[in-house]
């Protein structure tokens, strides 16, 4: 991965001279924003699967509710969650804060499901909360059907909507703290179980100024990424949906955006 990112940095100069084609091959849909101003976009309103980028809304609702010191008992359903996992067992008890960290840093589906069930009473009721919050935000292209991003019929969002959601998360210091951690060590409420997880975002610790925000992958969605970086007081947000080379392209777009004239 380090070699890929090094090559991407070398290729950024070439990408910088390709602005006139608006980068049609970087992703099925994309959006690049610098300091609140859209620089480039492609199919930014196309409704697409978003994989674990759905966890951005799950995290936002958890943070807005607060009470992260509450203890959550992991249900059998949460323990059976597939895909990326923390390794939770039914009956495990963790603070909501630890489940949130596992959701953001490792994108762990079992932790995400346990957190969603705790917040909503059930996964289905929590999805209703997600959709209600999306409506409040004016996310007109967004419909959630799973709190953790598994491929589900009718679940979709757009690069434009995800950039709007990212803006909300950028105002949450705890999310930004978690999203930029290279790794985290988590513990059960009784201290008997310990989990060490690494960040799924390959930019963290490898790309200067990287702050997060979230990665995602499923067979239906492809490689997805919402990347935030800061240099010299300027922030750039890149949203990529179904990107064949998300790390390469994210670095290239970030570099090009930081080089662009100030708005």
**Domain count within the chain:** 1
Prediction pTM value: 0.90
Instruction: Give yes or no for residue 136 having a pLDDT over 60.
Output: yes
235 is catalytic: no
Q: What is the CATH number of the domain that holds 101?
A: 3.40.710.10
Q: What is the pLDDT of residue 228?
A: 98
231 is catalytic: no
Candidates 75, 107, 157, 158; catalytic one: 107
Domain range enclosing 111: 2-259
Tens digit of pLDDT for each residue in 54-72?
999 999 999 999 999 999 9
Instruction: Give yes or no for residue 154 having a pLDDT over 60.
Output: yes
Instruction: Give yes or no for residue 32 having a pLDDT over 60.
Output: yes
Compute the average pLDDT of residues 208-225: 97
55 is catalytic: yes
Phi and psi of 236, rounded to 5°? -125, 135
Instruction: Give yes or no for residue 19 having a pLDDT over 50.
Output: no
Compute the average pLDDT of residues 98-123: 98
Q: What is the pLDDT of residue 23?
A: 76
Instruction: Give yes or no for residue 148 having a pLDDT over 50.
Output: yes
């Amino acid at each position: 991965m380090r070699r890929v990112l090094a090559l991407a940095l070398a290729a950024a100069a070439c990408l910088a001279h390709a602005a006139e084609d608006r980068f049609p091959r970087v992703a099925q849909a994309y959006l690049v924003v610098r300091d609140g101003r859209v620089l480039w976009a492609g199919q930014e309103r196309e409704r697409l699967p978003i994989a674990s980028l759905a966890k951005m809304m799950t995290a936002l609702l958890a943070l807005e509710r607060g009470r992260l010191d509450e203890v959550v008992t992991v249900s059998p359903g949460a323990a059976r969650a597939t895909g990326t996992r923390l390794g939770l067992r039914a009956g495990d008890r963790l603070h909501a804060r630890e489940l949130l960290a596992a959701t953001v840093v490792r994108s762990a589906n079992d932790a995400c499901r346990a957190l969603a069930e705790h917040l909503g009473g059930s996964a289905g009721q929590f999805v209703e909360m997600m959709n209600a919050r999306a409506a409040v935000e004016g996310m007109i292209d967004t419909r959630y059907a799973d709190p953790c991003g598994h491929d589900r019929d009718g679940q979709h969002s757009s690069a434009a909507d995800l950039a709007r959601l990212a803006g909300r998360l950028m105002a949450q210091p705890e999310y930004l703290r978690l999203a930029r951690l290279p790794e985290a060590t988590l513990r059960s409420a009784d201290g008997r179980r310990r989990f060490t997880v690494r960040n799924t975002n390959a930019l963290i610790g490898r790309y200067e100024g990287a702050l997060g925000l979230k990665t995602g992958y499923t067979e239906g969605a492809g490689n997805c990424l919402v990347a935030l970086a800061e240099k010299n007081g300027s922030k750039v947000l890149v949203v990529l949906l179904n990107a064949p080379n998300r790390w390469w392209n994210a670095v290239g777009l970030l570099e090009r955006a930081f080089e662009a004239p100030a708005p």
